[in-house]
Amino acid sequence: MTGQIVLLDANVLVPQRLSSLFLTLAEHDLFQPRWSEEILEEVERTLVHKLGLDPVKAGRRLDAMRRAFPRATVTGHEELPGDPRCDPKDRHVYSAAQVGFADVLVTFNLSDFPATSTEVDDVAVVDPDVFLLALHDQDPREVEAAIGHEAARMRQPAQKVSDVLRGVAGTVPMMANVLHHHWGQSATTMPAYESAGVEGSPWPSPDGEMDFTNPQHVLFMWWTALGGRLNNPEALGALQRLTWSPKAFGDYVWVDEALEGFSLASKVYFAVDAPARDIAFMRFIPEVAGDSRTFAAMKIPRAVYVTLVAAEDGHWWVWGIGNRIPATRDVRGD
């Protein structure tokens, strides 16, 4: 087996579809998985006591993982005192990463592992969504082959690749949506602007009619109003009218700071797990080419994502902005 050594925290192994996807990627030699018996015990407790899974089925699932990856279980970390800068309940996780010579620790609990606690041992603590995107950037063909394999072996009911991505969109929405829209292309680091002639430009012309049923037009108007609001009270009013919840955005100063040095890209991503196509995402990307974040040997391009939602009348609104794509259930408030 080749690839980086990756310790998987319990919260990554609990969700059935996400865990299955990670293990399938490991089967394709994209990374070497690691865990400890403490981590697996936490997985079992969560499955049985919190999610109500039959104890026998939970045990079978974990036994199957042990058989499939006999070298994955880390031992000997129990003797370590644990890094005091980590959350006490997760010190055993980081100790296992140390003893297992992990390059990366994948967890949803980033706040439990302060950056200062990982510098000495060069263990990158990475969110699952970011890890999967970076893995696809490194080896898109093999990652897509693994996801295709994952879909092919799901027969009750039969699954397609889009079903696999839809199934993990609740836990890793950024990866699921980006791969869904760029499937089969060389990498997730797509060009900022889609090729289009003058007639096919996605942006409204200065003297053209604005289409509020077009998320590209709405975000372009929103961005224009954002830049003009300080000198034009009417622009502030327009900005608020294009925002789903103006109160959540406050004075918009923090939005200025978040978008400083970024430009709007033209691609629209409709949420893979929103069949009504009433949730969409667009990106702001750095104006300086090659700007990226690095996690161990993995790099992904920096971006700021804007979430848009459509009302029943088809009118689009800006719902939120951040460095991540949110899950559909979070947008809907489910």
Taking only the tens place, the pLDDT of each residue in 100-157 is 999 999 999 988 886 655 555 678 889 999 999 989 988 999 999 999 999 998 877 7
| Whether 241 contacts 234, CB under 8 Å | no
Using 50, 70 and 90 to split pLDDT, how confident is the model at 288? Answer: low
User: What would the mean pLDDT of 175-190 be, rounded to a whole number?
Assistant: 70
Using 50, 70 and 90 to split pLDDT, how confident is the model at 92? Answer: confident
Q: What are phi and psi of 127, to 5 degrees?
A: -70, 145
Give the model's pLDDT for residue 188. 46
CA dihedral over 292, 294, 299, 305, signed as positive or negative = negative
User: What would the mean pLDDT of 4-25 be, rounded to a whole number?
Assistant: 97
Give the Cα separation of 272 and 185 in Å (integer): 17
Give the Cα separation of 40 and 145 in Å (integer): 27
Give the model's pLDDT for residue 191. 36
CA dihedral over 174, 177, 181, 187, signed as positive or negative = positive
Give the model's pLDDT for residue 86. 77
- In the chain the domains, ranked by start, together with CATH numbers, are 4-182 (3.40.50), 215-332 (3.10.450)
DSSP string of 257-299, one letter each residue: HHHTTEEE----EE-TT-TT--EEEEEEEESSTT-EEEETTEE
Residues 115-139: b if buried by 16+ CB within 10 A, e if exposed:
eebbeeeebbbbbbbbbbbbbbbbb
Higher pLDDT, 288 or 235: 235
| Whether 310 contacts 211, CB under 8 Å | no
Question: What percent of the chain stands above pLDDT 70?
Answer: 83
Q: H or E element: which one contains 171?
A: none
| Whether 125 contacts 107, CB under 8 Å | yes
Using 50, 70 and 90 to split pLDDT, how confident is the model at 194? Answer: very low
3-class state of residue 67 by DSSP: helix
Q: Whose structure tokens read 């140390």?
A: 98
Tell me: the pLDDT tens digits for 293-309? 555 455 555 789 999 99
Give the model's pLDDT for residue 183. 80
Question: What percent of the chain stands above pLDDT 90?
Answer: 59
Nearest to 150 by CA among 135, 138, 165, 137: 165
